[in-house]
C-alpha cells in the first residue's frame, strides 16, 4: 500500500510520537521510512553542531525502526521547513507523510489560546503540508 513513508523529525517529543506511528505503519505494510531532519538555512549555531545534532536525531529513528525490522533512509537537509516541505516530500518519493500537529517551535502556530498549546492548534509546517501535499498526510495529535 505504501512504499515510502516520510516522517519529519525536529527533535521534539511530538516528532518522535509521529515516528513511532510511522514505524508501526511501515512494519505492517512492509514499507520503508524516509526520516527527514531539516537544518534551518539561517541559524545562530555552527553548521557542524547542527549537523551533528540532526544526525543524532535521525539515528534515534533509524535505530528504533531497525529494531522493528523497518528500513530507514535518512535525509539531513538544509532548507526552510515551512517553505520547502512539499518539495521535500516530492524528493523523498513518499506516498504517505506522518507528521505531528505540533512541532519543536511552539511559537509558530496557526491559532493561539493565550500562548498555550491546545488541541485546536496546529503547527505552521503541519498546516502548510496539509494544504499543499499531493500525497496523504496522517496528522498525529
Check pLDDT > 70 for residue 45.
Answer: no
* Spatial CB neighbours of 5, under 8 Å, sequence gap ≥ 6: 22, 25, 26, 31, 32, 33, 34, 94, 95, 96, 97, 98
Task: Calculate the alpha carbon distances from 73 to 1, 100, 128, 139 in Å.
Answer: 18, 20, 24, 21
108 pLDDT band, cuts 50/70/90, is: very low
pLDDT over threshold 60, residue 112? no
What average pLDDT score do residues 113-141 get?
Answer: 81
Average the pLDDT over 41-59 and give the result.
80
Lateral strand order in the sheet of 32-40: 72-79, 32-40, 4-8, 96-100, 137-140
In the chain, the domains with their CATH numbers are 4-140 (3.40.50.620)
Q: Is the pLDDT of residue 91 over 70?
A: yes
Query: Per-residue pLDDT for 116 more than 60?
Result: no
Residue 44 has pLDDT above 90, yes or no: no
The pLDDT tens digits for 11-41 are: 999 999 999 999 999 999 999 999 999 997 7
Q: Longest C-alpha distance within the chain, in Å? A: 43
- Give residue-wise pLDDT tens across range 57-83: 999 999 999 999 999 999 999 998 888
Helices and strands (H, E) in the chain, number of each type: 4, 5
Provide mean pLDDT across the span 102-119.
Answer: 53
Amino acid at each position: 500500500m505504501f512504499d515510502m513513508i516520510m516522517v519529519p523529525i525536529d527533535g521534539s517529543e511530538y516528532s518522535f510520537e509521529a515516528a513511532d506511528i510511522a514505524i508501526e505503519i511501515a512494519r505492517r505494510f512492509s514499507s520503508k521510512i524516509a526520516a527527514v531532519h531539516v537544518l534551518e538555512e539561517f541559524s545562530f549555531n555552527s553548521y557542524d553542531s547542527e549537523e551533528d545534532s540532526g544526525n543524532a536525531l535521525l539515528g534515534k529513528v533509524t535505530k528504533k525502526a531497525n529494531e522493528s525490522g523497518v528500513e530507514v533512509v535518512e535525509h539531513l537537509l538544509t532548507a526552510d521547513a515551512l517553505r520547502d516541505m512539499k518539495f521535500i516530500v516530492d524528493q523523498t518519493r513518499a506516498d504517505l507523510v506522518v507528521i505531528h500537529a505540533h512541532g519543536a517551535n511552539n511559537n509558530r502556530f496557526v491559532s493561539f489560546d493565550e500562548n498555550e498549546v491546545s488541541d485546536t492548534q496546529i503547527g505552521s509546517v503541519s498546516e502548510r503540508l496539509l494544504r499543499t501535499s499531493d500525497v496523504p498526510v496522517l496528522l498525529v495529535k
